[in-house]
Structure 1
Amino acid sequence: MGKIVERPETGKLFFDFRYEGKRCREQTTLDSTPANRKKLESILKKIEAEITLGTFEYHRYFPNSPRAEEFTKQAEVQRAREAHDTPLFEVFSKDWLDEMKIQWRQSHITTVEGTLKNYLNPEFGEKEVGCITKQDILEFRASLAKVSTRKGNRLSASRINRIMTPLRMILSEAANRFEFSSPYHGIKSLKVPRTDVEPFGIDEVRQIIDTVRPDFRNYYIVRFFTGMRTGEIDGLQWDHVDFRRRQILVRQALVNGRLEYTKNDGSFRTIEMSQLVVDALTEQKKTTGKKDFVFCTRTGGPLNHNNVTKRVWYPLLRHLGLRKRRPYQTRHTAATLWLAAGENPEWIARQMGHTTTEMLFRVYSRYVPNLTRRDGSAFERLLITQFQNPELEPMEDTADEK
């Protein structure tokens, strides 16, 4: 229950009551006299009656109070929620995208813009964000599974998930702002089948390097023995090659023809160069050392990876009779060769730009036995030696005696 209180330092009266779970104290210019107190108590009773009836409007009694604006906005949000008076999806998604751009790379912004234009706005654009239901979302996702690509294939589960991600983010943000429950709650991403990596064997790597046209030999040596991504090596510039420390500083990548910062903190890394890589880059510097990019066109511009793949990479694999594989497999090859050589997994993860070794073991470890014979055969020899040959001395127990 509220009350009228005198402020000791001024002798003025003020209202003290609770509204919407908050304590509200509103100052008046009236002196603390019996008549003024009685007058304010009458007003307070009216306020409390309206609060009970749900008709109280804060700004009518205290128009100049900071609380008035706060409770007015809160009331408007509540009314919008009750009346489903929320902005259209197309309008809200545009505002959301403008707010998010500052934290995204341009390539990701372009991807999200394409997703909104081609998929989300045609489906949800004219609907209020507060009126989109869980059924709408599930029906939309089911319809994506029937969409065909330009090559006549169905959209993959991974592609569908990437289309759905902005929708989830938009609806979640709208739900927070307009105080309704997000219809996306409880909808899980589609399960994406695991895909095997297809690294090249060491003999295949040697074949490729020995056979590739001379102007791309250094390029593929660096790709195979640094684990750099396509965008990273195509965007590599000479000021990021440190011959003295034998390091490549990965700070940027070439994405859709423009240089951008690496996509995450793990990708921002330093790669230690082997002697083979040092030699290849030393040789390359004789050709492109006066240009910005390490590997570039005759005019000094960055390579077009699609052009290189179609005109150099795939023809080379066909010529050698090797199975067709994407150039990205050079990165997977580097990981398996490092593992095969017995390098520290944490060091390998840092070279690859992984924040942990989890992906390293999950994706690549099955290739190690084929290269190093660390496939249980050493353990098998131990058991044979210790349990099937009684003439040999047993192994000493190195554990501390208790």
Structure 2
Amino acid sequence: MASIRVLKSNKLYIDFRYLDERFREVTLLENSVANKKTLAQMAKRLDAEITLGTFDYKKYFPESKSLKKVALLERRKSQGRLGDDIPTLNQQIDRWLKEKEVEWRINYRNTMANLINKHIRPDLGGILLDAFLRDGAITFRSGLAEYRTPSGKPLSNATINRIMTILKAIVEDGCIQHKLITPFDRIKKLKEVKTHVEPFNLNEVTAMIEDVRSDFRSYLITRFFTGMRSAEINGLRWKCVDFERREILVRETFTQGIFEYTKNDPSQREIAMSTPVLEALKRQFESTGHRGRDGLVFCSRQGTPIDAKNFTNRIWKPMLVDLDIAYRRPYNTRHTCATLWLASGEAPEWTARQLGHANTQMLFSVYSRYVPNLTRNDGSAFERMLASTGTTGVVA
């Protein structure tokens, strides 16, 4: 039942319960017998309308700060969920991450947590799950588009889509559990700019191998001619180098200070050693092979794994500057290897297996312009067909 109370400021307010929640609405009326009588009459009407189910909160308190909360409670009532224990997005995130622990590699889990903690929790963490609606999702995405990194760069559409995909997975998981309608209906992904690989040509590869610091020459040869990812080659141990079969066995990775399983199952593979790689690893064995089968193939002077960031800053960048070669990430050694294999005429299926791809789809999507005429359509096959049949013009 609604009651009339007095604030320390001598203003009157109404104290009442609606939809199992307590509300206090302050008025502009001073504490007096006449004003109390006026509010008592209003409170009586308010109680009656709540009982009859005709109460309109906004009609009584149009400027109230509780209107959003009331709208949420009324929506819950209409859905038969009044009184449900609905979590905040922070609570839903915690539950979702806990459930995903068994599915993800440690490094992937850390990456996801970093994105969530940086972009999702600060803006949305305190919102109740069923209070996060479609307009809230669109507003959040707009905020991501306006975000600037410490260096002043905006987030790419690909990054924004990735964050939104994570948020969608978190929210829809909670929606299923609490029987809510997803707020992501008809929210499309932003258009992403297609990126193009920038491999080094063979002359650049040769120059880089000759220029690099001598203790990193075998490392660079192996990267350029096996297509191994940074985490794969930095975690390579001698027990995974089979000189007899001329194979490198990719079984684990090293990144962010942790050894763990490869990126995915197809990444577990055997890479055939070309002669340059075989000779480079034999030379490297003389340097680090004494550490035993569990020892790292490539490591620091202290026997610790090569740090990818340290290699980039202290070896890779100075080398490119010295050779006046346009900067590309070390990952481009992988792209370079793929294009060299394909351009030399190696079968796409074999190339895909060597790179650790599940199929050739990515090869033709990313490296199509480097595939030779045997497997790539560029018009020359049609020209040869016309020439073989003596057709040199178009029949009118």
TM-score by length of structure 1 reads 0.73
Separation in 2, partners of 1:87, 1:164: 20
**Alignment match, 1:356:** 359
**Alignment match, 1:301:** 304
**Alignment match, 2:161:** 161
8 Å CA contact 2:198, 2:332 repeated in 1? yes
Separation in 1, partners of 2:118, 2:320: 36
**Alignment match, 2:284:** 284
Q: Are residues 80 and 215 of structure 1, via their aligned partners in 2, closer, same or farther at CA, if it must alter by over 3 Å?
A: farther
- Structure 1 position 314 matched with structure 2 position 291: no
8 Å CA contact 2:368, 2:376 repeated in 1? no
Q: State the Cα distance separating 1:273 from its structure 2 match.
A: 1.2
**Alignment match, 2:81:** 81
Q: State the Cα distance separating 1:382 from its structure 2 match.
A: 5.5
Q: State the Cα distance separating 1:116 from its structure 2 match.
A: 2.6
Q: State the Cα distance separating 1:260 from its structure 2 match.
A: 1.6
Separation in 1, partners of 2:78, 2:100: 26
Give SS of 1:113's match.
Answer: helix
Q: Are residues 319 and 216 of structure 1, via their aligned partners in 2, closer, same or farther at CA, if it must alter by over 3 Å?
A: same
Query: Which amino acid counterpart does residue 181 of structure 2 have in structure 1?
Result: S
Query: Which amino acid counterpart does residue 225 of structure 2 have in structure 1?
Result: F
Separation in 1, partners of 2:145, 2:219: 39
Separation in 2, partners of 1:81, 1:217: 66
**Alignment match, 1:99:** 99
- Structure 1 position 194 matched with structure 2 position 194: yes
Correspondence list, 1:142-153, <5 A = 142-153=142-153
Query: Which amino acid counterpart does residue 299 of structure 2 have in structure 1?
Result: C
Separation in 1, partners of 2:381, 2:114: 54
Separation in 2, partners of 1:79, 1:113: 33
Give SS of 1:102's match.
Answer: coil
Gap regions ≥5 residues in structure 2: 1-75
Q: Are residues 186 and 289 of structure 1, via their aligned partners in 2, closer, same or farther at CA, if it must alter by over 3 Å?
A: same
Gap regions ≥5 residues in structure 1: 1-75, 390-402
Give SS of 2:346's match.
Answer: coil
Q: Are residues 253 and 78 of structure 1, via their aligned partners in 2, closer, same or farther at CA, if it must alter by over 3 Å?
A: farther
Partner deviation per Cα, 1:294-315 (whole Å, 9 max, x = no partner):
1100010001111111111111
Separation in 2, partners of 1:170, 1:117: 13
Q: State the Cα distance separating 1:112 from its structure 2 match.
A: 2.1
Q: State the Cα distance separating 1:78 from its structure 2 match.
A: 10
Correspondence list, 1:323-402, <5 A = 323-368=326-371, 375-377=378-380, 380=383, 383-384=386-387, 386-387=389-390
**Alignment match, 2:225:** 225
Query: Which amino acid counterpart does residue 356 of structure 2 have in structure 1?
Result: G
8 Å CA contact 1:80, 1:86 repeated in 2? no
Partner deviation per Cα, 1:305-328 (whole Å, 9 max, x = no partner):
111111111111111121111111
Partner deviation per Cα, 1:135-176 (whole Å, 9 max, x = no partner):
101100110011111211001111112222221111111111
8 Å CA contact 2:345, 2:371 repeated in 1? no
Query: Which amino acid counterpart does residue 165 of structure 1 have in structure 2?
Result: T
Separation in 2, partners of 1:307, 1:217: 16
The percentage of aligned residue pairs carrying the same residue is 46
Query: Which amino acid counterpart does residue 115 of structure 1 have in structure 2?
Result: L
Separation in 2, partners of 1:381, 1:165: 48
8 Å CA contact 2:352, 2:359 repeated in 1? yes
8 Å CA contact 2:345, 2:372 repeated in 1? no
Q: Are residues 172 and 232 of structure 1, via their aligned partners in 2, closer, same or farther at CA, if it must alter by over 3 Å?
A: same
Q: State the Cα distance separating 1:368 from its structure 2 match.
A: 3.7
Give SS of 2:207's match.
Answer: helix
Give SS of 2:183's match.
Answer: coil
TM-score by length of structure 2 reads 0.74
8 Å CA contact 2:224, 2:333 repeated in 1? yes
8 Å CA contact 1:129, 1:171 repeated in 2? yes
Aligned residues: 314
Separation in 2, partners of 1:143, 1:164: 12
Correspondence list, 1:26-41, <5 A = none
Query: Which amino acid counterpart does residue 253 of structure 1 have in structure 2?
Result: T
Q: State the Cα distance separating 1:277 from its structure 2 match.
A: 0.9
Separation in 1, partners of 2:196, 2:120: 31
Segments ≥4 residues shifted beyond 3 Å: 76-85, 372-386
Separation in 2, partners of 1:184, 1:252: 37
Q: Are residues 77 and 379 of structure 1, via their aligned partners in 2, closer, same or farther at CA, if it must alter by over 3 Å?
A: same
Q: State the Cα distance separating 1:103 from its structure 2 match.
A: 1.3
Partner deviation per Cα, 1:216-269 (whole Å, 9 max, x = no partner):
111111111111111111111111111111111111111212112112112121
Q: State the Cα distance separating 1:84 from its structure 2 match.
A: 6.3
Give SS of 2:102's match.
Answer: helix
Aligned CA RMSD, in angstroms, stands at 2.5
Query: Which amino acid counterpart does residue 232 of structure 1 have in structure 2?
Result: E
Separation in 2, partners of 1:364, 1:79: 52
Q: State the Cα distance separating 1:190 from its structure 2 match.
A: 2.0
Separation in 2, partners of 1:201, 1:81: 64
Give SS of 2:162's match.
Answer: helix
Q: State the Cα distance separating 1:374 from its structure 2 match.
A: 8.7
Q: State the Cα distance separating 1:270 from its structure 2 match.
A: 1.4
**Alignment match, 2:273:** 273
Query: Which amino acid counterpart does residue 293 of structure 1 have in structure 2?
Result: L
